[in-house]
Structure 1
């Protein structure tokens, strides 16, 4: 019940600050791009669009969300409440995961993709992974500028290998990359269980690090600059 209430609270928080409008703009813009693309290009282009935005948007949003929560003293309230760190993190994962999946499914439908189950699973798992990355960075910075700079290495590591594997050089080493696994699920390439397993392993490894980092952040809430 507590997790449910926190998730609903996060959804309202995101709606209040216009995050859903951004997703709506993404749907309209990318939907138009997909519609005018040649049919041969739609599948790979849609996979990249879904991975780069609906799936990965959690990382970019987490900076703004956490910094806003700090400025509004939300974390101070959480620090003295019975809410567990894991519940705080899960509510972020679920709330952003839901809207990411909805956005991805709409784009997939526009592109003519029919593997909705694989798309939903891959986007939710990847969204969860990127949300954890965003939380990890956001827990260690105090301004949006710091967050933007700190996420650059993660952007390169997360986005460059899957694109290289998709268009230029496909190596077995890339199969252990969560981004490659996500794109493979979307375009139905490779073993579905292997792809899901890769994302889950990375998620679990990152989960332990993020829980420790977020717990430290909540226990030592300080000043914030927006």
Structure 2
């Protein structure tokens, strides 16, 4: 038995047919392969167990994404280090709306086999940080990926609007990479409520990190699954 899961694991919102004006012209999409993540089941859970998978082909979803990042570093004398309290890091938040569609993936002999093709268009991008950077020209940035029913992503495509400035390209691309570096991949094994599994992968972007994502299946229904997540990264 399969359980439906929505794009980005958020509440699925189906929309009717309606006219929308075309967005800004985008550049030729740049594709990059994505290494398959290693999935390890730590605890299969209890109760009714099933193989979970995505069933979102021919669906649409509207959502909002926000990414807040911060970094601080202090160098102090050893004599005061024990009682030293670091100040709050300088933070910057990137936010945008997303319109997502999933279609059936086409056969491509040059790419890893996939069943689902996710396509995203972002709008109303904003950025708040110490530097006043304008990302509005990135409105209409497109990206997408090929994946299988379990959620394994095999390739990522990015297409910036032709009119986007350098700030918009850099900041929005970084946010997209962060978003796509946290996929929800289900195990091949049957699992039930309370199940725990890990996802070992590598992140891309400004620096490559080894990332371990631990998922816990908090609730399982006939039509969906609620998960909690813990993410750790290391060089």
| Alignment TM-score, normalising by the size of structure 2 | 0.28
Q: Would you tell me which structure has more strand in proportion to its own residues?
A: 2
Return the structure number with greater relative CO, CA threshold 8 A, min gap 6: 1
Name the one with the larger helix percent. Answer: 1
Name the larger-Rg structure: 2
What is the TM-score of this pair, normalised by structure 1? Answer: 0.29
